[in-house]
């Protein structure tokens, strides 16, 4: 049964010359930036923001604030369902590399960071919407997210993953504007102050089926917590530079896409409820179409339904029932 599922990995540099491939989800953070007449300036400015953020956090032995730069690699994971040679773009993630200009070393960073998945689009934008259509009360379908979660864990446990990456992935997302977060006394030198949510969210439950835990930290120089999804021990399994590479990369994206939260002019307090209608924030000099991004999520979910879910429904159902985590 497992022989029917094989993965291939392709990667491309995310730099100012990046052009999204045909298989890239258009709603992906970096792909959205790399479109239109401002694409090169968008990418150049975003990458500079990442470098500046990294140096601000990695400030030891870095008096001029220019010791490091970050290189980003887009990792596309394609999946062959039935050994036919035809693949479906299942997952797209980011890999960070750290350039130490003082020692002239290239240091491997963290894989994961940004997370894109057509099947997740299907679950949230097609399956969940259809299930709740004309229903008086919102509810979740039975086994919601289980197929996606098993496919993700199958990939992370695969030999292909182990051959390409030294450590498990860390995925970094924005906080939810539906929850309230409370500051704790726990503080990490790189991740910053830990916050605890008042309740679990659908996103947390979805990522839990992917085998991932979550913790919320507001790094130094930041104004809002970030959600870190991980396997194992986030605080001890990764070096300071590895963690900084994820923080600087993903907080930069959030400043662009959710400036009301991550580019707010006031930092989160002891009790914090994110507000996407917050007017007291600053905009970056990077152009981004939020409305288009939301609309395309539905289109991409339908693409997954047509080209992945429906054609392979029987095989996927049988595999999901037999695959033990």
Tens of pLDDT along 174-186?
Answer: 999 999 999 999 9
Evaluate if residue 4 carries a pLDDT over 70: no
Confidence of residue 187 (pLDDT cuts 50, 70, 90): very high
| Res 30 pLDDT > 90 | no
Average confidence score pLDDT of the chain: 90
Q: What is the H or E stretch that residue 149 is in?
A: helix 146-156
CB 172 within 8 A of CB 226: yes
Cβ pair 263, 120 in contact under 8 A: no
Statement: residue 264 has pLDDT above 90: yes
Residues whose CB is less than 8 angstroms from the CB of residue 123 and which lie 6 or more positions away in sequence, other chains included: 144, 145, 148, 206, 301
Q: What's the rounded mean pLDDT across residues 65-75?
A: 96
- Is 50 exceeded by the pLDDT of residue 1? no
Distance CA 230, CA 207 (A): 9
- Name the least confident of 14-18, 33-37, 156-160, 230-234: 33-37
Residue 82: pLDDT band by 50, 70, 90 thresholds? Answer: confident
d(CA 301, CA 125): 6
> Of all residues in the chain, what percent carry a pLDDT higher than 70?
90
> What pLDDT does residue 43 have?
87
Q: For the CA atoms of 114, 120, 125, 128, what is the dihedral angle to 10 degrees? A: -130
Element (H, E) at 69: strand 68-80
In this predicted structure, the answer to whether residue 29 has a pLDDT above a threshold of 70 is no
Distance CA 289, CA 31 (A): 11
pLDDT at 27: 47
Question: Pick from 124, 145, 114, 133: which is nearest to 301 by CA?
Answer: 124
User: 140: pLDDT confidence band, cut at 50, 70 and 90?
Assistant: very high
pLDDT at residue 290, as a whole number: 62
Interatomic CA distance for residues 74 and 298, integer angstroms: 23
Give yes or no for a contact between 153 and 211, defined as CB atoms under 8 angstroms apart. Answer: yes
Average pLDDT of the segment spanning 114-138: 91
Q: Nearest-CA neighbor of 65 among 55, 75, 73?
A: 55
Nearest to 273 by CA among 183, 195, 203, 179: 179
Closest to 26 (Cα-Cα) out of 259, 292, 287, 307: 292
* 169/42: higher pLDDT: 169
CA distance 268 to 273: 8
């Amino acid at each position: 049964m497992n022989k029917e599922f094989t993965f291939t990995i392709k990667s491309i540099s995310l730099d100012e010359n990046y052009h999204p491939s045909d298989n890239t989800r258009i709603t992906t953070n970096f792909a959205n930036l790399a479109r239109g007449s401002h694409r090169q300036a968008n990418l150049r400015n975003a990458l500079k923001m990442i470098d500046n953020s990294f140096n601000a956090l990695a400030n030891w032995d870095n008096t001029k604030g220019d010791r490091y730069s970050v290189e980003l690699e887009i990792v596309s994971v394609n999946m062959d369902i039935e050994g036919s040679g035809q693949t479906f773009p299942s997952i797209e993630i980011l890999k960070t590399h750290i350039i130490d200009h003082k020692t002239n070393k290239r240091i491997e960073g963290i894989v994961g960071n940004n997370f894109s998945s057509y099947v997740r689009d299907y679950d949230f934008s097609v399956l969940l919407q259809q299930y709740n259509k004309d229903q008086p009360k919102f509810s979740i379908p039975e086994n919601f997210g289980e197929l996606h979660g098993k496919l993700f864990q199958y990939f992370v446990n695969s030999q292909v993953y182990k051959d390409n990456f030294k450590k498990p992935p860390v995925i970094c997302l924005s906080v939810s504007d539906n929850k309230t977060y409370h500051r704790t006394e726990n503080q990490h030198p790189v991740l910053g102050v830990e916050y605890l949510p008042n309740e679990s969210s659908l996103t947390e439950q979805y990522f839990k089926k992917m085998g991932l835990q979550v913790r919320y930290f507001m790094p130094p120089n930041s104004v809002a917590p970030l959600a870190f999804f991980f396997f194992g021990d986030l605080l001890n399994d990764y070096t300071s530079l590895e963690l900084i590479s994820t923080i600087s990369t993903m907080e930069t994206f959030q400043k662009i896409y959710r400036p009301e939260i991550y580019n707010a002019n006031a930092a989160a307090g002891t009790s914090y409820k994110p507000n996407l209608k917050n007017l007291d924030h600053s905009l970056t000099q990077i152009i981004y179409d939020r409305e288009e991004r939301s609309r395309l999520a539905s289109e991409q979910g339908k693409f997954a339904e047509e080209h992945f879910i429906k054609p392979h429904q029987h095989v996927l159902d049988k595999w999901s029932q037999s695959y033990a985590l």
